[in-house]
């Protein structure tokens, strides 16, 4: 799937969160949503990114946004990650990476000369009408919050 751009309709999804509850993007129509995709729970970059979101969640909420982290981890692994770092927001399990594919974040990667498929660390702001207001592919863990906050603050 090609990468999404500002103005594109955000692909719909229904995923389980860390407690096993179903989360549907359509349930949040009418308010901004931040989605960030991370490769693997409880790894250094993903922990940094998730803790940055946790630490700035009140600021993001003041801008009206709901926040969701998405990775290919199971709900149980997401629950352990949430409990360990007291993240306090929904972490969604995209075990078959179908949602990541729709958002253009599932791609070939390379490490130490080995090629494999995986998540491109990315963040999206979806506006109240369900359109992409900001798309940040290959975002650094520390830049996720400033990038999405700039879009929300408009």
- Residue ranges of the chain whose pLDDT lies below 50: none
Is 1 contained in some domain? no
The CATH number assigned to the domain holding 67 equals 3.40.30.10
Active site residues: 46
User: The pTM is what?
Assistant: 0.95
Q: pLDDT tens digits for 109-152?
A: 888 889 989 999 999 999 999 999 999 999 999 999 999 999 99
Burial of 135 (0-12, 13-18, 19+ CB in 10 A): buried
State how many domains the chain has.
1
Domain extent, residue 84, equals 14-153
Is 8 contained in some domain? no
Q: What angle do CA 104, 51, 114 make, to 5 degrees?
A: 45
Is 34 contained in some domain? yes
């Amino acid at each position: 799937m090609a990468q999404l751009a500002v103005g594109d309709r955000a692909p719909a999804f229904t995923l389980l969160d860390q407690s096993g509850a179903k989360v549907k993007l359509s349930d949040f129509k009418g308010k901004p949503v931040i989605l960030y995709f991370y490769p693997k729970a409880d790894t250094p970059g993903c922990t940094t990114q998730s803790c940055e979101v946790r630490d700035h969640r009140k600021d993001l909420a003041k801008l009206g946004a709901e926040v969701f982290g998405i990775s290919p981890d199971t709900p149980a692994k997401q629950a352990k990650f949430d409990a360990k770092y007291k993240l306090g927001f929904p972490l969604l399990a995209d075990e078959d990476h179908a949602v990541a594919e729709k958002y253009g974040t599932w791609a070939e990667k390379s490490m130490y000369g080995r090629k494999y498929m995986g998540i491109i660390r990315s963040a999206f702001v979806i506006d109240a009408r369900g359109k992409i207001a900001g798309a940040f592919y290959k975002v650094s863990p520390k830049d996720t919050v400033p990038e999405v906050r700039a879009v929300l603050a408009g």
